[in-house]
Chains A and B, each alone.
Chain A
Amino acid sequence: MTGVAIRATDIAKQFGKVTALDHATFEVPRGIVFGFLGPNGAGKTTVIRTLLGLLRLDGGEGSVLGFDVATQSDSIRERTGALLEHDGLYKRLTAEQNLDFWGRVWRIPRAERRRRMETLLTRLGLWERRKDAVAEWSRGMKQKLAVARTLLHRPELVFLDEPTAGLDPVAAAALRDDLEHLASEEGVTVFLTTHNLAEAERLCARIGIINKGRVVALGTPAELRDAVGSASIIIRGPSITPAHVAMLRTRAGIVNLTLLEDGVQLVLAPNATVTPLVRALIEHGAEIEEVRRERPTLERTFLDLIADDGHAGAAT
Chain B
Amino acid sequence: MITDTLTILRKEWLEFRDQLLRLRRGGISLIVIVLLLGVLTPLQFGPDWLSSWIVMFYFPTLASSMASALIVDAIAGERERQTLESLLASRLPDSAILFGKMLAALSYGSAFVAVNALVACLTLNIAHPDKAPLFFQARFGTLLAILTLAACLAQTGIGVFISLRSKTVRQAQQTFGIIMLVIFLAPALVFQLLPPERRFSIIATVRGWGMEQIALLAALVLGSIGISAAMFAWARFRRGKLALD
Nearest-CB residue, chain B, relative to A76: B91
A286 on the B face (CB < 8 A): no
Contact present for A54 and B85 (CB under 8 Å): yes
B137 on the A face (CB < 8 A): no
Query: Contacting chain B: which of A97-105, A124-132, A293-301?
Result: A97-105
CA gap between A85 and B81 in the complex, in Å: 12
Query: Contacting chain A: which of B15-23, B63-71, B172-180?
Result: B15-23
CA gap between A138 and B15 in the complex, in Å: 20
Chain B contributes a number of interface residues (CB within 8 A of A) equal to 26
Instruction: Please pick, from B15, B83, B92, B244, the residue contacting A105 in the complex, using a CB distance under 8 A.
Output: B92
- Contact A84/B86 with A55-B244, A77-B91, A101-B7 known, Cβ cut-off 8 Å: yes
B3 on the A face (CB < 8 A): yes
* Contact residues of B: prevailing secondary structure: helix
Instruction: Give the chain B neighbours of A104 by CB distance below 8 A.
Output: 7, 10
Contact present for A82 and B86 (CB under 8 Å): yes
Instruction: Please pick, from A49, A77, A86, A93, the residue contacting B18 in the complex, using a CB distance under 8 A.
Output: A93
B177 shortest CB reach to chain A, Å: 24
B128 on the A face (CB < 8 A): no
Contact present for B87 and A78 (CB under 8 Å): no
Instruction: Give the chain A neighbours of B92 by CB distance below 8 A.
Output: 105
Contact present for A77 and B90 (CB under 8 Å): yes
CA gap between A197 and B88 in the complex, in Å: 29
Instruction: Give the chain A neighbours of B19 by CB distance below 8 A.
Output: 92
Count of A-B residue pairs with CB < 8 Å: 73
B133 on the A face (CB < 8 A): no
Nearest-CB residue, chain A, relative to B11: A101
Nearest-CB residue, chain A, relative to B78: A90
Interface string of A48-84 (1 = CB under 8 A from B): 0100111110000000000000000110011000111
Instruction: Please pick, from A74, A88, A97, the residue contacting B87 in the complex, using a CB distance under 8 A.
Output: A88
CA gap between A83 and B83 in the complex, in Å: 11
A110 on the B face (CB < 8 A): no
B82 on the A face (CB < 8 A): yes
Contact present for A54 and B239 (CB under 8 Å): yes
Contact present for B90 and A105 (CB under 8 Å): yes
Chain A contributes a number of interface residues (CB within 8 A of B) equal to 32
CA gap between A54 and B240 in the complex, in Å: 5
A181 on the B face (CB < 8 A): no
A89 on the B face (CB < 8 A): yes
B234 shortest CB reach to chain A, Å: 17
Instruction: Please pick, from B11, B22, B87, B91, the residue contacting A106 in the complex, using a CB distance under 8 A.
Output: B91
B11 shortest CB reach to chain A, Å: 5
B89 on the A face (CB < 8 A): yes
B185 on the A face (CB < 8 A): no
Instruction: Please pick, from A54, A89, A91, A107, the residue contacting B89 in the complex, using a CB distance under 8 A.
Output: A54
B93 on the A face (CB < 8 A): yes
B14 on the A face (CB < 8 A): yes
Contact present for A92 and B15 (CB under 8 Å): yes
Contact present for A84 and B10 (CB under 8 Å): no
Nearest-CB residue, chain A, relative to B90: A105
Contact present for A105 and B18 (CB under 8 Å): no
Contact present for B81 and A91 (CB under 8 Å): yes
Contact present for A56 and B89 (CB under 8 Å): no
B243 on the A face (CB < 8 A): yes
B14 shortest CB reach to chain A, Å: 6
Instruction: Give the chain B neighbours of A233 by CB distance below 8 A.
Output: none
Contact present for B22 and A93 (CB under 8 Å): no
B13 shortest CB reach to chain A, Å: 11
Instruction: Give the chain A neighbours of B89 by CB distance below 8 A.
Output: 52, 54, 77, 82, 84, 88
A120 shortest CB reach to chain B, Å: 17
CA gap between A97 and B19 in the complex, in Å: 14
Instruction: Give the chain A neighbours of B86 by CB distance below 8 A.
Output: 82-84, 86-88, 149
Among the interface residues B15, B19, B85, which one has the most CB atoms of the partner chain A within 10 A?
B85
A133 on the B face (CB < 8 A): yes
A303 shortest CB reach to chain B, Å: 31
Instruction: Give the chain B neighbours of A82 by CB distance below 8 A.
Output: 86, 89
- In the assembled complex, 29 residue pairs joining A and B whose CB atoms fall closer than 8 Å, in A order, are A15-B244, A52-B89, A54-B85, A54-B239, A54-B240, A54-B243, A55-B244, A73-B239, A74-B91, A74-B93, A77-B90, A83-B86, A84-B85, A86-B82, A86-B83, A88-B83, A88-B87, A92-B15, A92-B18, A92-B19, A92-B22, A93-B14, A93-B15, A101-B10, A101-B14, A106-B90, A107-B3, A133-B18, A149-B86
If A84-B89, A86-B83 are given as contacts, then 15 extra A-B residue pairs at C-beta distance below 8 Å, sorted by A number, are A52-B89, A54-B85, A54-B89, A54-B239, A74-B91, A82-B89, A85-B85, A86-B85, A88-B82, A88-B89, A93-B11, A93-B14, A105-B4, A105-B92, A106-B90
